[in-house]
Amino acid sequence: SHFLQAADAYARALELNENNINAYMWSAALFSEDLDIKNDLEAFRLVEKAVDLDPLNRVANGNYQLHLSDQGRDSEAQENLKRLIKIDPEHNQYIQQLAAIHLMNDRWAEASKLLVLIPRFVDRYSFFSFMILTKINAEDRFEAFFDAVAIDNPLIDAMRATEQGLFATPAELVAEAEILLLQPDLEGQARSIIYRLIEIGRFGLARALIENMAPALKRDINELKYDRFNSLPDYMVCLYFAGEIERSHQIAEMILEQNQNRRRMGPRGKGIDDAISYLTLGDTEKAVGEIELAFDEGWRSYYSYRIDHQPIFKPILHDKSIERVKNDIDQYIQEQRPVVLKNMKDAAVF
């Protein structure tokens, strides 16, 4: 593959110059993202070497902290980023990376506190804000949030599409889907309506949109990888409800195999994707167990997964363990919500 060729090229570059920082960083990226050669420990070693060679390199430092968090060394990553923010206050990405680590570990108060330090025209400002609102189940603040998105924000069109997807009627969703299918959607514009189509039972239409975003998903099962939109779990669910049980089961088993060494929390965490895979396979006991384990490890994103609305979760909605997890998350939200909303108001999110 092209990824393997690139990995060989970077290896040769390092043979020629063992101090080639860019080669270390790009090699690390390949080992992090490409599942043919994925090796998180090797990726970590490479990016650590880049930081050793240039302790103030902005790109290397940012990647290194994300790797630390993915390795479970979350506190170390936070302390490093706080130190880097003081050393290099002009580099706003350090603040964004610290906010991302908090957000992906469901520490919403900490993430929202940093929004005031992120320029409003930066795309992550709006993305982080919206993600936090979905996680604290604050649909009552969505309209005010969308009204306040800065016109010069790079995500303005995506935010408008997300707003449309949230509030559209079923007929409007279908009409928008049919328009999106008229041409390739390699930018993933359909993401904002796919989960709603799944909720209203339009599995075939949702599947077509996913395939239009990520054509690779139509290939032989042995060639499937997580696509860049991470829509494989949704695709699996669409196949399952469309009656393509064997293929959905194959994808579920593949996801479980690929996720064996992935942490649940963190920037590249798997969340509760394994639970969705087990539900597709009909193993409700393991699905419940996965959600309980995720909760024990800090997962609180019950509402951003829309568990009460997505049909794949229906068999476990009234399980006592799931009800207990939901009640505990509701309590966590009650504690976090006032602080989060105040932080977002201070940051002029709405």
Helix axis angle for 58-70 and 21-33, nearest 10°, is 30
pTM of the model: 0.86
Q: What is the pLDDT of residue 224?
A: 63
pLDDT value, residue 223: 61
**Range of lowest pLDDT (47-51, 94-98, 229-233):** 229-233
DSSP 223: G
Supply the pLDDT for residue 12.
Answer: 78
Task: Match 């942490």 to its residue by tokens.
Answer: 263
Q: What value does the mean pLDDT of the chain take?
A: 87
Q: Which residue has the higher pLDDT, 331 or 260?
A: 331
Instruction: Name the more confident of 262 and 117.
Output: 117
pLDDT confidence band for 173 (50 / 70 / 90): very high
- Range 54-82 average pLDDT: 86
Rounded to whole angstroms, how far apart are CA atoms 12 and 3? 14
- Say which residue, 158 or 333, is predicted with more confidence: 333
How big is the CA angle at 238 (ends 207 and 1), to the nearest 5 degrees? 65
| Mean pLDDT, residues 274-281 | 98
Distance, in Å, from the CA atom of 50 to the CA atom of 38, rounded to the nearest integer, reads 19
For the chain, how long is the longest CA-to-CA vector?
Answer: 61
End-to-end CA distance of the chain: 46
pLDDT per residue as tens digits for the range 207-219: 999 999 888 788 7
> Which tokens go with 232?
């494989």
Q: What is the pLDDT of residues 301-319, one digit of tens each?
A: 999 999 999 999 999 999 9
Classify the phi-psi angles of 235: left when phi > 0, otherwise alpha if psi is within -120 to 50, otherwise beta.
Answer: alpha
- The CA distance from 125 to 278, in Å, is 34
Per-residue pLDDT reduced to its tens digit, 190-205: 988 999 999 999 999 9
**pLDDT for the residue 315:** 97
* 220, pLDDT greater than 80: no
Cα torsion for 182, 123, 224, 195, to the nearest 10°?
-60
- Tokens read off for 262: 């992935």
Please report, for residues 77, 93, 117, 133, 149, the alpha-carbon distance to residue 156 in angstroms, rounded to integers and kept in the order given.
31, 20, 20, 17, 7
Residue 46, classified by CB atoms within 10 Å of its CB into exposed (0-12), middle (13-18) or buried (19+), is buried
pLDDT tens track for 84-114: 999 999 999 999 999 999 999 999 999 999 9
In sequence order, which residues have a C-beta less than 8 Å from that of residue 137 and are 6 or more positions away? 303, 333
Is 282 a residue whose pLDDT tops 70?
Answer: yes
What tokens appear for 8 in the block?
């060989």
Question: Do 222 and 253 contact (CB within 8 A), yes or no?
Answer: no
pLDDT at residue 129 is higher than 60: yes
- pLDDT for the residue 288: 98
What is the pLDDT, as a whole number, of residue 37?
A: 47
More confident residue, 29 or 173: 173
How far is it, in rounded angstroms, from Cα 237 to Cα 203?
8
Least confident of 15-19, 153-157, 201-205, 227-231: 227-231
